[in-house]
């Protein structure tokens, strides 16, 4: 399952700019809303599963996109309930296991999985034996031990969009963002496709719909917004490959890359913290507004006419 949070617990998350207190409910979810069991008739329930972006690391509870989604969907003719089950360090397998634990309890009308490219790096199948892969690479901003003693200098480097993107492109993770795949990247994509297929199939077997909201990494947004060209780089290749699977399996693949890149290009305001790669409050707001529109586009009729 990864690293579920403590029941009724508290954690403190530190960033150079701020310190965030995180509180968790009895199920270890960062969710202050109540979710009646059994689900009342006429209620449209959404189960959110994802990693630290869904849990809202680095942001106060009121700022995170799951809460913004919940509030923007409030006031519809049909009441909407959003169960927030994001957990730091989760990958697609962990999220599938979380679905299998929570869907029978909450009976959501929609399971919405927040997907990031780092899921591809880490994914394994539940019946697979551990195997040696590439050496782990931590998030950009935390992977330069030689600069740890020169923290201010490191921060200044990361402020530059071209340097930030170029340094990421020097890591082994670049193989997931190229048109020409390495054999290892191809294997990880295949595992990811299988896990997404299983998640979609499981949701359907329980009477729930399934959709994926794709969140790009910071360097993808910078590269697309600034038109940064590096040998082999394709900022859209992850969404293009996996959206083909979604089309074949019949579930929506919702990509936020263009929305985030367009906003950054127009305003030049950071949507991600450069030091740890998570959304800033603005990033949460832009993503939350976009996702609300996508949910209304796809399921708005249900939110007006569900009985």
pLDDT beyond 60 at 141? no
CA–CA distance from 29 to each of 59, 212, 218 (Å)?
A: 15, 20, 25
Exposure string over 204-228, b if 16+ CB within 10 A, otherwise e: eeeebbbbbbbbbbbbbbbbbbeeb
DSSP track, 10-40: EEEEE-SS-EEEEE--TTS-S--S---SSPP
Give me the pLDDT at residue 128, please.
64
Domain for residue 1, yes or no? no
Q: Which two three-digit tokens encode residue 166? A: 């170029």
Burial of 195 (C-beta count, 10 Å sphere; 0-12/13-18/19+): buried
Give me the pLDDT at residue 307, please.
46
CA–CA distance from 37 to each of 27, 147, 221, 272, 293 (Å)?
A: 14, 51, 40, 36, 28
252 vs 149, residue with greater confidence:
252
Q: Tell me the pLDDT tens digit for each residue of 246-301.
A: 999 999 999 999 999 999 999 999 999 988 899 999 999 999 999 999 999 999 99
- Quote the pTM value: 0.90
CATH number of the CATH domain containing 246: 3.40.50.1110
Mean pLDDT on 224-231: 96
Our count of domains for the chain comes to 1
Q: Across the strands, what pairs with 44?
A: 80
Domain for residue 152, yes or no? yes
- Residue 268's SS3 state is coil
pLDDT beyond 90 at 116? yes
Domain for residue 2, yes or no? no
Give me the pLDDT at residue 148, please.
42
Interior angle at CA 14, CA 9 and CA 18, nearest 5: 115
pLDDT more than 70, % of the chain: 88
- Give the residue numbers spanning the domain of 140: 10-305
Domain for residue 186, yes or no? yes
pLDDT averaged over every residue in the chain: 89
Mean pLDDT on 80-109: 96
pLDDT beyond 70 at 130? no
Domain for residue 4, yes or no? no
Give me the pLDDT at residue 140, please.
40
Domain for residue 5, yes or no? no
Give me the pLDDT at residue 18, please.
84
Pairing of strands 110-115, 44-50: parallel
Mean pLDDT on 129-133: 45
Sequence length of the chain is 307
Give me the pLDDT at residue 182, please.
95
Domain for residue 3, yes or no? no
Domain for residue 285, yes or no? yes
Give me the pLDDT at residue 290, please.
98
Give me the pLDDT at residue 17, please.
75
Give me the pLDDT at residue 154, please.
60
Give me the pLDDT at residue 287, please.
98
Q: Which helix (H) or strand (E) holds 191?
A: helix 183-205
Report the C-alpha gap between 64 and 147 in whole angstroms.
31
Q: Tell me the pLDDT tens digit for each residue of 12-49.
A: 988 777 899 999 999 889 999 999 999 999 999 999 99
């Amino acid at each position: 399952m990864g690293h579920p949070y403590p029941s009724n617990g508290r954690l403190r998350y530190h960033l150079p700019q701020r310190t965030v207190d995180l509180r968790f409910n009895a199920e270890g979810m960062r969710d202050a809303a109540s979710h009646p069991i059994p689900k009342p008739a006429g209620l449209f329930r959404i189960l959110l599963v994802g990693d630290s972006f869904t849990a809202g690391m680095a942001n106060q509870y009121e700022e995170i996109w799951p809460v913004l989604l919940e509030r923007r969907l409030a006031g519809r003719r049909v009441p909407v309930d959003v169960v927030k089950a994001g957990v730091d360090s989760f990958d697609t397998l962990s999220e599938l296991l979380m679905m299998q634990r929570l869907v029978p309890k909450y009976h959501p009308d929609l399971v919405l999985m927040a997907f990031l490219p780092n899921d591809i790096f880490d994914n394994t199948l539940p019946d697979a034996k551990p195997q040696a892969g590439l050496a782990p690479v931590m998030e950009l901003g935390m992977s330069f031990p030689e600069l740890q003693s020169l923290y201010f200098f490191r921060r200044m480097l990361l402020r530059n969009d071209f340097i930030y993107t170029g340094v990421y492109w020097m890591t082994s993770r670049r193989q997931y963002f190229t048109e020409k795949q390495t054999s290892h990247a191809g294997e990880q994509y295949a595992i990811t496709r299988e896990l997404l297929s299983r998640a979609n199939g499981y949701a359907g077997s329980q009477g729930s719909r399934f959709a994926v909201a794709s969140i790009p990494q910071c360097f993808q947004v910078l590269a697309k917004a600034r038109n940064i060209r590096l040998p082999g780089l394709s900022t859209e290749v992850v969404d293009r490959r996996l959206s083909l699977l979604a089309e074949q399996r019949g579930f929506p693949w919702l990509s936020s890359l263009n929305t985030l890149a367009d906003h950054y290009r127009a305003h030049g305001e950071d949507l991600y913290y450069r030091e740890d790669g998570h959304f800033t409050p603005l990033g949460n707001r832009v993503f939350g507004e976009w996702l609300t529109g996508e949910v209304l586009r796809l399921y708005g009729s249900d939110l007006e006419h569900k009985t």
